[in-house]
Amino acid sequence: MERSVLSIGSNLGDRLTYLEAAVDDLAATTGIAVRGVSSVYETPPWLPVTDSRFYSIVAIVETNLDPFSLLDTVQEIETRHGRTRGLKWSPRTLDIDIITFGDEESSDQELTLPHPLAHERPSVLLPWLELDEDAKIAGVPCKELVEKLDCSGIVRLGRLR
């Protein structure tokens, strides 16, 4: 089993319901065991494409799937819950990103590992640190990374359900 960190977000529709559904779907998937789920964080839009605030969580899973099968699985979950792929960073019902997959590094066009923007997103780092205070991206402690970021406007809302 390989440990993977997933960032799950929504900024369209019933955001909490979409986050809960994503966690439920992951837990129901053969080959995936959900080991931890962070609190929900409300964050400002990452880019000025939308004015919708994101609800974000991090889930730590263990899986016997390979990284590309995990990617296929999370994209199917996104689609099942109304995600459409259009303009980059546009509003979406569900967005699931693979942040890390064990210690794997990949620069594949379909899947870059670790996630190339995770180090600059408080919406990933804060919930991840809640679950693992020793979290690292490419060997760099997430605590150090988050200290360099503007975390204003981020609100911890509490746990799902």
Catalytic residue, candidates 3, 24, 53, 97: 97
Q: How far apart are CA 82 and CA 85, in angstroms?
A: 10
**What is the architecture, at CATH level 2, of domain 2-158?**
2-Layer Sandwich (3.30)
85 a catalytic residue: no
In the chain, domain spans: 2-158
132 a catalytic residue: no
pLDDT at residue number 52? 77
User: Please, which residues bridge with residue 133 across strands?
Assistant: none
Average pLDDT over the chain reads 92
> Please, are residues 41 and 146 in contact by the beta-carbon 8 Å criterion?
no
**Would you say how long the chain is, in residues?**
161
Catalytic residue, candidates 15, 25, 95, 121: 95
For 125-138, write each residue's pLDDT tens digit: 999 999 999 999 98
Catalytic residue, candidates 15, 92, 132, 159: 92
Q: Is the pLDDT of residue 16 over 70?
A: yes
What are φ and ψ of residue 137, in 5° steps? -120, 120
83 a catalytic residue: yes
Model-level pTM? 0.94
> Please, are residues 12 and 55 in contact by the beta-carbon 8 Å criterion?
no
For 96-123, write each residue's pLDDT tens digit: 999 999 999 999 989 999 999 999 999 9
Catalytic residue, candidates 15, 25, 83, 121: 83
97 a catalytic residue: yes
For 83-101, write each residue's pLDDT tens digit: 776 656 567 889 999 999 9
